[in-house]
Structure 1
Amino acid sequence: MTDLPIKRSFKDDFGVEIMFYEWPVAQPKAVIQIAHGLGEHARRYDAMAAMLNKAGFSVYADDHRGHGQTGLRQFENKQIKRLGNLGPGGMKATYKQVADFSKLIKSENPNRPLVLLGHSWGSFIAQKVINKYSDMYDAVILSGSALTMPGYLATGDFNKVWKKLPGSTGYEWLSRDVDVQNKFVEDPLTFLALAMQVFGVKNSLQLFGTPSKEIRRDLPILVQVGEADPIGGEYSNKALVEAYRKNAGIDDIELFVYHECRHEIYNELNKEAIIDDLVTWVNQRVSK
């Protein structure tokens, strides 16, 4: 039996080798593509992928440009301190890289529904990708997201609410689970930085925008957010849902807000219930 995940790669339009991981199951009900957040990498989703496998879904996840094994391979000197540097083409090339990864997944899984799941920065990438390529996806899930417009997207110290706690790790904003916080600190491939610091002004400004009128109207969208998420939270995600309804005319869009949960809801103390909500939602819409 092959050990999971299976590690593979492809070259993007600029020749950057994009490392990705596959957790396949036989005869999947659907395929879920995970787009990770800023300062993390695909292998942080191992546990979630195992739960999705158990529910009958195959899972794919890449290390975006400048992140994880992709980031290390981009720089021949393997300098971890350069993680976050997106490389040639910047943010727009990153959007295209994620869309091209979707095309690869679809080519390997013909006639299987494809669900794009974006977390945090990955959810902002997903928003941009479906503005242009909504026909590729059977459903979209946005986690830890926000309406990417001024006034709706937090900047500054994400941990300011918790930083005065005795023994603060500095990462309480991620999850109530202290083990998750400690593992983030210990992981050499994770880092904390604001988008402007890592990506620069030009690339960061490309994160902003609203849902396009070109998104197909029958695309189901699930938005999941922690009540205590400092990046967008309930306020910003309600605005995001309304923007999809108003701009794109999408009717099948739901917002789930999780009491007391923080930014990484799939790493929360009640993660099983949250992932169960995701599985139920997908089963009701795209599973075959």
Structure 2
Amino acid sequence: MPEPGAAARRSPQGVPYADLQHIVNADGLHLFCRYWEPAAPPRALVFIVHGAGEHCGPYDEIAQKLKGLSLLVFAHDHVGHGQSEGDRMNVKDFQFYIRDSLQHVDLMKSRHPDLPVFIVGHSMGGAISILTACERPGDFAGVVLIAPMVQMNPDSATPFKVFLAKVLNHMVPSITLGTMESKWISRDQKQVEAYDTDELNNHGGVRVSFAMQLMGATARIEREIPTISWPFLLLHGDDDKLCDIRGSKMMYEKTPGADKKLKVFEGGYHALHHDLPEVAESVLKDVTSWIADRLPAATSPETQGS
């Protein structure tokens, strides 16, 4: 139910939040939400976490596949992204993304208290997913990471560049470091064009202050990795120019948990779920089968007298 006064608040696109599914975060900002509810009683909850500069709309295909397994899928546009309020692709503290994610997860768990919860995160959404699961390790049945941001690209994180970024962040945090090149998102030109023409994506530059938040998040992940024991599936392309595959390999090698898997896609670009059709299809199968294998057997329709 929309809260009182929601009609007065409009999305960055001018749509009243009273007409949009949304939650209100701890800072009073409206976050646009999507829900994919199965016809049958849900067997689990799956939270999808999008990456930097994009929104949750392009995850419809993955969500529909998961919905087909009788899973209830939910997502929101992060603060400052898509149809949510907030300064565009900028955040004072990376922890706000994690806090908002836990708020949404808690809301869905309150409605479905007995269901296991999974997370699917891509790129920066992968970093948010990792830190969210680290904050509440007992709350999640598994985490799927598609080309997650685990380490900063070594080319962009040399000691001098880090020093320079810190100086700039102190003096002029709003200065931009250039834009992300969309050609590195996918080897499928149609997907690149779809990204470029999607008005809900952020096509501007990355601010120094935002880059510093990303750097801080990867440093925090590196500290958390030795403690990670929750199940995870890592999918990464070995020609990813945006999130370095070495981060995924490091996470796979250094986490102590037994239930973990790394699958490398030869020649794969950053958005594997939107890469060449055969890769995207494989990713859909990998994600759905990995989650399906970890669903409680007792709730499976096959075991209920079918």
TM-score normalised per structure 2:
0.74
RMSD: 2.8
Deviations 1:88-128 (A, max 9, x none): x5322221111111111211222111101111000011121
Say if 2:79 and 2:97, in contact at 8 Å, map to a contact too.
yes
- In structure 1, the residue corresponding to 2:270 is in which secondary structure? coil
Out of 200, 215, 235, the position equivalent to 1:224 is 235
Aligned to 2:210, which of 194, 199, 202? 199
Identify which of 247, 250, 260 aligns with 1:236.
247
Q: Which amino acid aligns with 2:101?
A: V
Give secondary structure in 1 for the equivalent of 2:183.
coil
Residue from 29, 54, 57 that aligns with 1:16: 29
Question: Whole-Å Cα distance in 1 between the matches of residues 242 and 117 of structure 2?
Answer: 27
Seen in structure 2, the aligned counterparts of structure 1 residues 154 and 221 have a Cα distance that, compared at 3 Å, is farther
Q: CA deviation at 1:57?
A: 2.0
The residue identity in structure 2 corresponding to 1:66 is G
Q: 2:89 maps to which residue? A: 84
Moved more, 7-16 or 173-182: 7-16
Decide whether the 8 Å contact of 2:147 with 2:270 is kept in 1. yes
- Matched with 2:74 is 60
Structure 2, unaligned runs of 5 or more? 1-18, 162-179, 300-306
One-letter identity of the residue aligned with 2:284: I
The 2-side partners of 1:50 and 1:113 are apart by: 19
Q: Distance in 2 between matches of 1:107 and 1:256?
A: 34
C-alpha displacement at 1:149, in angstroms?
5.8
> CA 1:32 to 1:183, structure 2 compared with 1: closer, same or farther past 3 Å?
same
**Match for residue 289 of structure 2 among 271, 280, 283:** 280
- Conservation of the 8 A alpha-carbon contact between 1:146 and 1:153: no
AA paired with 2:116? P
Structure 2 CA distance for partners of 1:281 and 1:152, relative to 1, 3 Å: farther
Pick which of 146-155 and 266-275 moved more: 146-155
1:172-201 Cα offsets, whole Å, 9 max, x none, are 211111111001111112125675546153
Match of 1:95 in 2: 98
The aligned runs of 1:105-116 (5 Å cut-off) are 105-116=108-119
Question: Cα distance, 1:214 vs. partner?
Answer: 8.8
Trace 1:89-168 onto structure 2 (pairs within 5 A): 90-148=93-151, 151=154
Q: Which amino acid is the alignment partner of residue 212 of structure 1?
A: E
- Identity in percent: 24
Contact 2:147 2:245 in 1 (8 A): no
The verdict on how the C-alpha distance between 1:235 and 1:94 changes in structure 2, with shifts beyond 3 A counting, is: closer
Higher helix share: 2
Query: Is the contact made by 2:37 and 2:67 (CA closer than 8 Å) also made in structure 1?
Result: yes
Change (3 A) 1:214 1:55: same
* Shift, 1:256, TM fit: 0.9
Contact 1:124 1:148 in 2 (8 A): no
Q: How many residues align?
A: 255
After TM superposition, the structure 1 = structure 2 runs for residues 172-191 of structure 1, keeping only pairs within 5 Å, are 172-191=183-202
2:150 and 2:55 map into 1 onto residues whose CA distance is 23
Name the SS for the 1:68 alignment partner: coil
- Runs of at least 5 residues in structure 1 that lack an aligned partner in the other structure: 1-5, 75-81, 157-168
SS of the residue 1:229 aligns to: coil
The Cα shift of 1:154 comes to 7.1
Whichever of the two has the greater Rg, that structure is: 2
Which sits farther off after the overlay, 222-231 or 36-45? 222-231
TM-score by length of 1: 0.79
1:119 maps to amino acid: H
Specify the alignment match of 1:212 in structure 2.
224
Match of 1:161 in 2: none
